[in-house]
Amino acid sequence: MSSSVIVGTQWGDEGKGKIIDIMAKKADLVIRSSGGNNAGHTVVHGNDVYKLHLLPSGILYPNTTCLVGSGVVVDPKVLLEEISEMNKRNVTCDNLKIDSRADIIMPWHRELDRLEEDFKAKQSGVNVGTTGRGIGPCYTDKARRIGIRMYDLCRPECLKKLIKTTGEINNLMIEKVYGGKPLDLDAVYEEYKAYGEKLAKYEADGSVITFEAYNEGKTVLFEGAQATLLDIDFGTYPFVTSSHPIAGGACIGTGVGPKLIDEVIGVGKSYTTRVGNGPFPTELFDELGETIRNRGGEFGTTTGRPRRTGWFDAVIMRHAVRVNGLTALAINKFDTLSGIGTLKVCTAYKKSDGSVVKDFPVTLEELADCTPVYEEIEGYEGDLSNCRTFEELPEKCRRYISRLEELCGCPIKIIGVGAGNDQVIFR
């Protein structure tokens, strides 16, 4: 038996989908445990490219059970569209299970996401820069115990009753707080009842499925979404998502204990990117940042937004190693940095009083007072895309990788050298 948790170490978009897909081939059970369709995983299979938002990456393998866990917020419309798209490409999705406890994103959540962001922008000029998918408002309803869950969606009498209360509360928020237009709750009921009918066949108890699979000696893969610095507690709050993308979230969002986790792999990139607003110490504002963005194809899978780009930040990585209990790192996109000249790695931050900070600051105020301390490393050249062993990599590239390992305090066991699933080195 074995179980692995895959988490993002930076601000998302680290190429988790690719690592997950490679590992999903060998997994019996693949689980999404947090977030919703704010995530976007690109999976490349030969010439086929799949952009997944809610479906676990193992969906392409019919013998792999794919679980959407209790910690995920599910937009049923989006999920059904995704299933339908997959069906058109001969992927049946019969291997899909959705935990009865998963909360459902309702239309008022999307509306409130937008209204709240607009309000914040107007009031203070700063909003979170959410994906607008209703993620935060849905988790808010969950926490204030008025959420509609998968169980309710699939039972019209429950759905009707809950829409009357939770729908009304949300309508009051839309109208009385933000001056928006309330939603027609009867129409919402009819629309969502139909979604429930279509999705009912996938409803399951994810906690039981996972516990039994592990104890039967099956291989279990927890597929992370978003990333460490977007965690609601350990990310750059308030510029974070509303769930726990860190390793502990895999247990909470599935319903199993930490003893069930055997390894935790943190996925990162050989540089750093971020979408949305919020601090980013090693951000590059010059032509080089633009070059990395274009060469790395750094545009959002979910929203198409250009990603902000910057140097590799070892302070962030050490934070990720600690809060996730990482046993290994998988670092992607070493090919992107090939030939760009001297590389910089942030080893620590310096504060305005001259003190040096080695650990990621707790507050944004402290972070704002930090500037990166850089170490320069000789750049490497050449086409890495055909390298399949560490030894085949250019010597200067190997030196860069070894230095990153030292600075992060964690072995880099998986090295990405291209977008394709085979363009990877396992050590």
Q: Among the options 13, 21, 113, 152, which is catalytic?
A: 13
Per CB under 6 A, 37 contacts ligand IMP:
no
> With contact defined as beta carbons under 8 Å apart, do 15 and 224 qualify?
no
DSSP 379: -
Least separation in angstroms between CB 272 and ligand IMP? 12
Among 71, 253, 276, 372, binds ligand IMP (CB under 6 A): 276
The label of the residue with tokens 């850089």 reads: 374
Per CB under 6 A, 83 contacts ligand IMP:
no
Per CB under 6 A, 315 contacts ligand IMP:
no
Per CB under 6 A, 230 contacts ligand IMP:
yes
The label of the residue with tokens 């809610």 reads: 54
Q: Among the options 21, 28, 41, 99, which is catalytic?
A: 41
Query: CA-based diameter of the chain, in Å?
Result: 65
The answer to whether 244 is a known catalytic residue is: no
Contacts of 207 (CB under 8 A, 6+ apart): 70, 99, 254, 255, 256
Least separation in angstroms between CB 154 and ligand IMP? 25
Q: Which stretch binds ligand IMP (CB under 6 A): 119-127, 159-167, 223-231, 287-295?
A: 223-231
Site string for ligand IMP, 111-150 (x = CB under 6 A): -----------------xxxx-x-xx--------------
The answer to whether 205 is a known catalytic residue is: no
Per CB under 6 A, 12 contacts ligand IMP:
yes
Among 3, 70, 170, 226, binds ligand IMP (CB under 6 A): 226
Site string for ligand IMP, 281-310 (x = CB under 6 A): ------------------------------
Calpha distance 302→17 (Å, rounded) = 13
Least separation in angstroms between CB 13 and ligand IMP? 5
Among 291, 419, 426, 427, smallest CA distance to 13 is for 419
Q: What is the dihedral of CA 298, 302, 305, 309, to 10 degrees?
A: -30
Label the pairing between strands 41-45 and 48-52.
antiparallel
The residue among 65 and 324 lying less far from ligand IMP, judged by its C-beta, is 324
Least separation in angstroms between CB 124 and ligand IMP? 16
**Do you find a cis peptide bond into 238, omega within 30 degrees of 0?**
yes
Contacts of 147 (CB under 8 A, 6+ apart): 103, 104, 138, 141, 166
Q: What is the DSSP string of 213-255?
A: HHHTT-EEEEE--S-GGG-TTTSSTTSS-SS--SHHHHHHTTT
The residue among 324 and 338 lying less far from ligand IMP, judged by its C-beta, is 324
Q: Which residues bind ligand IMP (CB under 6 A)?
A: 11-13, 38-40, 128-131, 133, 135-136, 225-226, 230, 239, 241-242, 275-276
Residues labelled as active-site residues: 13, 41
